[in-house]
Amino acid sequence: MVEPLDYKSLWERAEGERRKAEDERRKAEDERQKAEDERERAENERDLSRKNTQPSTFAEFIRMSHFHLSRPLSVQTDLELCTKGPLTSPVGRSCPTFLRPWTGFQQLQEKVYAKVLDLLEPSEEPSPRLFTSIAGLQNLQEELHLGPLASEEDLRIYSSLAVENQVHRILERLKSIPGSNVAFPRLGGVSFENHYNALRERRAPNRSRPSSSSTRSNTDGFCVHQTAGGQKELLTTMEYKAPHKLTSQQICAGLREMNLWEDVVQQTTIPVDPEEKLQYIAKLRVGTIASQAHDAMLKDGMPTMVVSTGIGQVYFHIPEERPDILEYFYVQPNIDVESIRHTDWALQPVTVIGRMLSFCLMSLTSPARSQAWRNRAIHETHTWRVDVEEILKGFSEDELRSNPSGSEYFPSSPLGPSPARPARVSCQDGLTSPPLSDHSDSDNPPGHQRKRALSQVLSSPTPGPATRSRTKKSMQSSAPGPQETAEGTEAMEYCTQRCLLGLWNQDKLDADCPNVTRHRKSSRTQYHMINRADFLRRVKAQLDESLDHYIAPTQILDSSAVLSRVSLMPYGYTFVSKGTPDEHRDDTIREAEVYGTLRPYQGSAVPICLGTIDLQRTFFVHPQICIKHMLLLSWAGKATDITQIAPGEPWESYERAGKAIQSKILGYTSMHPGNILWDPCRRCIQLVNFDSPNCRPRKLFRAPPGCPGPKKRSATSTTWPTKRRRVR
């Protein structure tokens, strides 16, 4: 008998198999989904890695630089962990009469930045990827170890690596873009240097006394432009102030439109009201940095300068027609970025890198002011005589650390909420530079004013104290014509030593001198038309009339000596001047005496010395180097390391020069490469730099009665290196 089917069991078995199949299907689906997720995650990681490691666009670079290098910056609040010491003293420096806002600054920055965007963020084609990757910026952030700023050195390191280096990279990439030379004609060769030592050449350490005065500037950094000929010219300067010594609250409270001279420097009483006391302290500290900036800008002839605390930057500007006015614009980039509501802030000059980039590009269109302008400006501005630290000692520690009302920072110039890209400026607009100040009310364009003859300016009477703030036209007219300056110095070669020796002896001209045609003028004479005394008189008269024509610094030896190329017109005598400040006048006289002792060897062992002159005006090369005296010499060659001259070169001339000097001079022991000049055309070595305090003609060393004479140097004490032998 057939058993009945157990439908329930069959159903349960079928249901179990169905559930099992469903589980297997679900498991397979989960595994497939997991594999898909893994693939997608791997793809995302590859995309992220590729995005992080690929070069960035300009906008990406600006944005990520802000996130990784600027936003993490902070200030050490524990003063026990911070460096001590006051701000640089303003005593003895020039002081602006008025402080006022630089109202045209933001507009200038936006115009320059728009030109950069035209090149690096074009609207109608993909933006070029030329800049550091996100990963590279992350690595730089880790290397910087962005702890709280506690010293000036912390700030210098941060500013150099996180700001200046990044701006320099942008400038380097920018000049590779087609059309950049139209928008920014002088873009190539722009770089940053730390301290003025970077601008000078090697020099023997033969000075045993201080070479700087108490009023010299301590400018920390420079933006420079290197010309095609290799000569460096200053564009603008930077000064760093530790943020715990000059807080953002003090800047906000003290940096305001005012008569700085009357309201701060000349104020004879200290306020009694607690709030007025705090305001006075803030103004005094701001006045200190304003005076330092003003002094450096006048001596450098720079229209602009920036003072940075890391957290904020103060951009300064001196109107050409009003050197008694210092204009300012203060920014705190981190707060400025946060205040912008839209997301396109990287396309506007608001970050610290964006602002510094625009500032450097602005300086390309702002040539240095003339020597005549600098001398007149310094003469017509006040000098700070108040000891700030002595005044601050009269306040309590609580008062010095407290912040007055009005010390909060608000974005100076909000850039508007519109996410639209800022209006572009055509690259062709770069050919015409806008004025740096919208306060100018000049009737004539700057170019026309610069072409006025310097004699017109220098012959005008010097205004008295009552009219010092009304010198607009005279200040503008004293600017040099750039073409005249370049034509005066760069177009003329140095005269030969035989030529200048003939001038000294009033002998025949050297037919091989590149300037012999000018020496003759229109005659056919074979002799020099002027003598040495007439030469010195004419050189002094020419330089007293103008220090902007036919003279150009060529080499900074140290803080007390500068070499310049000088041409005496219309005769064309072109030679070297070794300039020194007032405090080193004795060095110049002593070195001339040494050259006089070496007269028989001039033109062979040493250059030809044509004499010395004292300048009526100051020749400003750098805030630390203000030239008043000059030693006039023939060009003798380029500095060289004697050990690097290949065998077969005229070692005999070197040994002969050394023996000649040893026979006549005491104390010349330094054989630093800067003292050895090699002329490859004449194949001759000559020795220079006899300005050491120990360097004297032997005839001057006569011991008084009862005193021993100078000791003779032993044969083993000589510093003349021996000839290198080639090892075979």
Report pLDDT for 268: 83
- The answer for residues whose C-beta is within 8 angstroms of residue 310's C-beta and 6 or more apart is 73, 75, 149, 155, 158, 159, 240, 243
- The 10s digit of each residue's pLDDT in 520-562 is 887 788 999 999 999 999 999 999 999 999 999 988 887 789 9
Q: Do 269 and 370 belong to one domain? A: yes
How confident is residue 218, by pLDDT bands cut at 50, 70 and 90? low
Q: Do 631 and 543 belong to one domain? A: yes
* Percent of the chain scoring above 70 in pLDDT: 78
Q: How many CB atoms lie within 10 A of CB 658?
A: 21
Determine the 3-state secondary structure of 559 from DSSP: coil
Among 390, 411, 432, the domain-final residue is 411
**Would you say residue 486 lies in a domain?**
no
- The 10s digit of each residue's pLDDT in 222-248 is 788 776 666 778 888 999 999 999 999
Backbone angles phi, psi at 709, to 5 degrees: -80, 175
**Beta pairing partners, 568:** 573
Q: Do 506 and 606 belong to one domain? A: yes
Among the listed residues 307, 168, 305, 163, the one whose alpha carbon sits nearest the alpha carbon of residue 237: 305
Distance CA(283)–CA(246), nearest Å, equals 11
Two tokens at 710?
Answer: 């100078």
CB 468 within 8 A of CB 381: yes
**Would you say residue 724 lies in a domain?**
no
Report pLDDT for 412: 61
- Give the containing element (helix H, strand E) for 496: none
Among the listed residues 715, 713, 711, the one whose alpha carbon sits nearest the alpha carbon of residue 703: 711
Q: Do 587 and 708 belong to one domain? A: yes
**Would you say residue 317 lies in a domain?**
yes
Query: Where in the sequence is the domain holding 694, given as residue range(s)?
Result: 491-715
Among the listed residues 610, 606, 605, 588, the one whose alpha carbon sits nearest the alpha carbon of residue 538: 610
| Beta-strand pair 551-558/382-383 | unpaired
Determine the 3-state secondary structure of 143 from DSSP: helix
Averaged pLDDT, 582-611: 92
Among 368, 391, 411, the domain-final residue is 411
- The 10s digit of each residue's pLDDT in 98-139 is 999 999 999 999 999 999 999 999 988 999 999 999 999 999
**Would you say residue 398 lies in a domain?**
yes
**Would you say residue 258 lies in a domain?**
yes
CB 241 within 8 A of CB 87: yes
- The 10s digit of each residue's pLDDT in 362-382 is 998 888 899 999 999 999 999
CB 170 within 8 A of CB 131: yes
Two tokens at 573?
Answer: 């005598």
| Beta-strand pair 609-622/665-666 | unpaired
**Would you say residue 57 lies in a domain?**
no
Degrees, nearest 5: CA angle 401-407-412: 145
Backbone angles phi, psi at 459, to 5 degrees: -85, -10
- The answer for residues whose C-beta is within 8 angstroms of residue 161's C-beta and 6 or more apart is 140, 144
Two tokens at 436?
Answer: 């740096």
Q: Do 597 and 506 belong to one domain? A: yes
Report pLDDT for 209: 44
Distance CA(16)–CA(398), nearest Å, equals 84
Averaged pLDDT, 638-654: 69
Q: Do 390 and 532 belong to one domain? A: no
Q: Is the pTM of this model over 0.85?
A: no
Q: How many CB atoms lie within 10 A of CB 458?
A: 17
Distance CA(305)–CA(103), nearest Å, equals 16
Distance CA(126)–CA(246), nearest Å, equals 44
Distance CA(205)–CA(439), nearest Å, equals 47
Averaged pLDDT, 568-578: 96
Selected residue with higher pLDDT from 571 and 624: 571
Among the listed residues 250, 298, 262, the one whose alpha carbon sits nearest the alpha carbon of residue 399: 250
Determine the 3-state secondary structure of 180 from DSSP: helix
Report pLDDT for 136: 93
Q: What is the CATH number of the domain that holds 519?
A: 3.30.200.20
Q: For the chain, give the mean pLDDT.
A: 80
Alpha carbon 592 to its chain centroid, in Å, reads 33
Selected residue with higher pLDDT from 189 and 585: 585
- The 10s digit of each residue's pLDDT in 137-173 is 999 999 887 789 999 999 999 999 999 999 999 999 9
**Would you say residue 483 lies in a domain?**
no
Distance CA(662)–CA(679), nearest Å, equals 22
Distance CA(683)–CA(701), nearest Å, equals 34
Among the listed residues 672, 716, 710, the one whose alpha carbon sits nearest the alpha carbon of residue 691: 672
- Residue 286 pLDDT exceeds 80: yes
- The answer for residues whose C-beta is within 8 angstroms of residue 466's C-beta and 6 or more apart is none
- Residue 472 pLDDT exceeds 80: no
Degrees, nearest 5: CA angle 142-146-150: 150
- The answer for residues whose C-beta is within 8 angstroms of residue 495's C-beta and 6 or more apart is 510, 513, 514, 515, 572, 573, 574, 575, 634, 635
Report pLDDT for 618: 94
- The 10s digit of each residue's pLDDT in 49-76 is 888 889 999 999 999 999 999 999 999 9
CB 423 within 8 A of CB 114: yes
Q: Do 391 and 527 belong to one domain? A: no
Alpha carbon 136 to its chain centroid, in Å, reads 27
Among the listed residues 256, 320, 307, 266, the one whose alpha carbon sits nearest the alpha carbon of residue 100: 256
Q: Do 404 and 551 belong to one domain? A: no
Q: Do 324 and 178 belong to one domain? A: yes
- Give the containing element (helix H, strand E) for 88: none
- Give the containing element (helix H, strand E) for 637: none
Two tokens at 228?
Answer: 């095609």
- Residue 85 pLDDT exceeds 50: yes
Q: Do 686 and 540 belong to one domain? A: yes
- Tally of domains in the chain: 2
CB 211 within 8 A of CB 566: no
Among 411, 441, 459, the domain-final residue is 411
**Would you say residue 44 lies in a domain?**
no
Two tokens at 15?
Answer: 């249901």
CB 701 within 8 A of CB 709: yes
For 264-321, give the DSSP string.
Answer: IIT--S---SHHHHHHHHHHHHHHHHHHHHHHHHHHHT-SEEEEE-SS-EEEEE--TT
- Residue 584 pLDDT exceeds 80: yes
Distance CA(479)–CA(447), nearest Å, equals 9
- The answer for residues whose C-beta is within 8 angstroms of residue 277's C-beta and 6 or more apart is 270, 271, 395, 399
Q: Do 382 and 498 belong to one domain? A: no
